[in-house]
Amino acid sequence: MTIADVTKILDGKLIAGDATSPRAVGAVVANDLMSDVLLHDEDDILLLTSLASDQAIRTAHIVGAMGVVIHNAKPLSETMIKVANDLAIPLVSSPLAKYDACVKLHEAFLAEERG
Amino acid sequence: MPGATDMSEYSPVILQGQQTNDDEILASTPLDAKALGGESSEIIMELLQRFKVRDVMKRQVISIPRSATMRDAQRILRDNRISGLPVCENGRLYGLVSVNDIIRGLDGGWMDEPCENHMAKNLVVLEAGMPLAFALRYFNNYTYGRFPVLDSDRKLVGIVSQRDVMRALLYELSVEIRKLEMKTSSKAAKVEQEAKGNFFRREWAVVHNDLSRAGHAANAIKGILRERKIDRAIVRRVAVAAYELEINICIHSHGGVIVLLISDNSVKITAKDRGPGIPDIEWACRDGTSTANDWIRSMGFGAGMGLSNSKRVSDKFEIQSEVGKFTIVQCTFELPKPDGAAEGGAQ
């Protein structure tokens, strides 16, 4: 599941980063507390958060995340978008609530597993 | 913000005490950007963090009680030549009556009704303890010219305008720049400290409370380690520690530095700050213990995981602190010997 797939599944819009990135989601972390996010060791994390700030992007970069989704269509500042572009972190805005976004991603993973 | 009062209309409340002329301060400020180079912006950032809203706000605020009529409000606005009036009782801010509300009252014929029925109730406010950097972000995010200021008990204690912020900054800048001019040469020598022998060393300044810049050092450190093809798992651990320590300096200290030292067999991250120090290091290193305030938490930090996270990812973790003076944290990461190095670079 690439960032393009994530964008489609979550009815979102890619705001920054490369839409054609081939990196696949390795794990989904839904959290607004950045120190919690830093505890995760998985590769290619997709970070779902309502923290619409530069720090969400910086944290994603530190853990080597493959993308960030800001849910509830929270407004994104220009600096946040700039940081995402600078650090090459794909940034998606989704109108879904965090829970609904998690459910949709989970369903998509199950469908992917079934082939 | 829907329903928020347009504070840009809120002209100055009673200005008691000395009134400073901004132009005079500007003229007397020896601001020579060329001579100062990049340091001038650092000074401004430092001031924006060091100074709090309470340091620059006006403390004399004219207000009316909720029972006052719209006509009372109109008279006070006119007599004091102001265009916005906080509705406040025993320090608690209930709303604000603006000239627009008065015009609507005249049109609608409710000038003799209590102002609490027609005042704006959803106000954007600042807290007295917030750094000026935070106030400036409010001025950028909202188009209001000034904000009411509440203390930690949510009581109205002042009002702050962009003009107040600029005036304080200009004055303090003139003081700081004079100090800086006296030690420019020695400071310049400290700016770049490069590799010596087999060591690579680099240092980044971290400014108190400037969360918008926090993470720059950790991001740069990650980039440097990636360029050196250090194992990706180690890069990630170093980056996590650097980031947590950088955030810690930013939110808990008076400012400090993050130092990266790479040798043949290890990477060291050292976080040094200028106080206030940690009274109980054991307590501070436990998960979930924090002294962060609400606005830091609203930025996604302050959960008390910083030191414990840094310790968790390090091969060696050392911390020293003296209350009122400093805290130094050093995280060491062992590098595998060249023949045992993992293949591939960091992601």
Same domain, B164 and B196: no
Chain B residue with minimal CA distance to A38?
B240
Q: What is the percentage of chain B residues whose pLDDT exceeds 70?
A: 74
Retrieve residue B105's tokens.
């009252």
Supply the pLDDT for residue B267: 95
What would the pLDDT profile of B61-106 be if each residue is shown by its tens digit?
889 999 999 999 999 989 888 777 889 998 899 998 988 899 999 9
- CATH number (domain holding residue B246): 3.30.565.10
Note whether residue B320 is domain-resident: yes
- Residues B143, B16 share a domain: yes
Indicate whether B39 belongs to any domain.
yes
Tell me the C-alpha to C-alpha distance, in Å, between residue B25 and each of B11, B22, B71, B252. 22, 5, 40, 33
The pLDDT confidence band at residue B8, using thresholds 50, 70 and 90, is very low
Q: How far is CA B271 from CA B117, B205, B247, B330, in A?
A: 54, 10, 10, 6
Task: Please check whether residues B69 and B142 belong to one and the same domain.
Answer: yes
Mean pLDDT of chain B: 77
Question: Same structural domain for residues B133 and B213?
Answer: no
Region B228-247: what's the mean pLDDT? Answer: 92
pLDDT band of residue B41 (cuts 50, 70, 90) is: low
Q: Is residue B236 over pLDDT 50?
A: yes
Range of the domain at B215: 192-340
Q: Specify the pLDDT at position B83.
A: 74
Judged by a CB distance cut-off of 8 A, whether residue A111 touches chain B is no
Give the residues across from B258 on adjacent strands: B204, B271
Closest Cα in chain B, distance from residue A95 (Å): 19
Residues B244 and B321 in one domain: yes
Q: Is the pLDDT of residue B291 over 70?
A: no
Same domain for B215 and B136? no
**Residue-range domains of chain A with CATH:** 3-114 (3.40.1390.20)
Tell if the pTM clears 0.80, that is, is over it: no
Strand partners of residue B84: B98
Lowest mean pLDDT among A55-64, A97-106, B20-29, B141-150: B20-29
Structure-model confidence comparison of residues B347 and A5, the more confident one: A5
Highest mean pLDDT of the ranges B27-31, B43-47, B59-63, B281-285: B59-63
Q: What domain count does chain B have?
A: 2
Low-confidence ranges of chain A (pLDDT < 70): none
CA distance A83 to A52: 12
Domain boundary among B109, B139, B171: B171
Q: Quote the strand ranges of B138-255, DSSP E.
A: 146-150, 156-161, 200-206
pLDDT (average), residues B104-133: 91
Span B28-54, average pLDDT: 61
Q: What would the two tokens of residue B145 be?
A: 């010219």
Q: Tokens in use for A108? A: 């998509």
Q: Which pLDDT value is given to residue B276?
A: 86
Query: What are the angstrom distances between the C-alpha of B177 and each of B38, B42, B166, B170, B180?
Result: 13, 11, 16, 10, 5
Q: Which of residues 253-312 of B touch A (CB under 8 A)?
A: 299-301, 303, 305-306, 309, 312
Question: What's residue B22's pLDDT?
Answer: 36
Residue B182 lies in a domain: no
Q: Comparing A29 with B308, which gets the higher pLDDT? A: A29
Regarding predicted confidence, which is higher, B71 or B184? B71
For range B237-255, the mean pLDDT:
90
- List the single residue in A32, A41, A43 with the smallest CB-CB distance to B300: A32
If one counts every other C-beta atom within 10 angstroms of the C-beta of residue B49, the result is 20
Nearest to B301 among A35, A62, A87 (CB): A35
Q: Of the candidates A33, A35, A64, which has its C-beta nearest B244's C-beta?
A: A35
> Is B27 inside any structural domain?
yes
Instruction: Examine the domain organization and report whether B223 and B105 are in the same domain.
Output: no
What pLDDT score was predicted for residue A62? 93
Q: What mean pLDDT do residues B106-129 have? A: 92
Domain with B73 in it: what CATH number? 3.10.580.10
